């Protein structure tokens, strides 16, 4: 038998000795056992309140569930409304921009037309009012266009 085995054996012997109960400790442990038995029996046979507690808990959960559902519905609707509103605003802005673009184009066309009219008028006025000294030349131009 080596030292390790001897040591283990002596430790086991010491544990054995410590497990022997003196009468006072034995009595205390017996009382402890009886109290645990009585407590356990009472707890085992007690009227169960779990149903009431769980129903209250369930009611609480139900209320929280409804509240969350309401918040969800409201947020979905308000989100939809907000998205729709944003879309409408974007459409209106696009419409206004298109309208302004058309008006500007129209204005530009009108100005261009006015300019052209003015130039034509000037051109015709200028061509009609030939200085007297140049009239023979103008007549020649009228007769012979190729010149």
Does residue number 61 form part of the binding site for other proteins (CB under 8 A)?
no
Q: Which residue has the tokens 């009012």?
A: 129
Does residue number 34 form part of the binding site for other proteins (CB under 8 A)?
yes
Does residue number 58 form part of the binding site for other proteins (CB under 8 A)?
no
Going by C-alpha positions, the residue among 122, 141, 121, 138 that lies closest to residue 130 is 138
Site string for other proteins, 80-119 (x = CB under 8 A): ----------------------------------------
17 within 8 A of 9, measured Cβ to Cβ: no
Q: Distance (Å, rounded) from C-alpha 147 to C-alpha 124?
A: 20
Does residue number 126 form part of the binding site for other proteins (CB under 8 A)?
no
Does residue number 14 form part of the binding site for other proteins (CB under 8 A)?
yes
Instruction: Give the pair of three-digit tokens for residue 45.
Output: 């046979």
Does residue number 25 form part of the binding site for other proteins (CB under 8 A)?
yes
Does residue number 24 form part of the binding site for other proteins (CB under 8 A)?
yes
- What are φ and ψ of residue 20, in 5° steps? -75, 130
Does residue number 10 form part of the binding site for other proteins (CB under 8 A)?
no
- Stretch near other proteins under the rule CB under 8 A, chosen from 30-38, 66-74, 77-85, 87-95: 30-38
21 within 8 A of 29, measured Cβ to Cβ: yes
Least Å distance between CB 22 and other proteins?
7
Instruction: Give the pair of three-digit tokens for residue 79.
Output: 């989100």
Which letter does DSSP use for residue 146 in this model?
T
Residue ranges binding other proteins (CB under 8 A): 8, 11-12, 14-16, 18-19, 21-22, 24-25, 27-29, 31-44, 46, 50
């Amino acid at each position: 038998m080596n030292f390790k085995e001897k040591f283990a054996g002596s430790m086991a012997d010491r544990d054995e000795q410590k497990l022997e109960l003196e009468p006072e400790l034995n009595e205390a442990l017996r009382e402890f056992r009886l109290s645990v038995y009585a407590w356990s029996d009472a707890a085992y046979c007690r009227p169960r309140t779990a149903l009431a507690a769980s129903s209250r808990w369930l009611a609480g959960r139900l209320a929280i569930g409804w509240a969350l559902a309401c918040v969800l519905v409201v947020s979905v609707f308000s989100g939809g409304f907000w998205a729709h509103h944003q879309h409408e605003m974007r459409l209106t802005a696009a419409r206004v921009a298109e309208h302004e673009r058309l008006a500007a184009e129209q204005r530009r066309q009108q100005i261009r037309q006015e300019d052209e009219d003015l130039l034509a008028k000037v051109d015709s006025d200028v061509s009609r009012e030939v200085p007297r000294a140049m009239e023979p030349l103008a007549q020649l131009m009228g007769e012979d266009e190729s010149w």
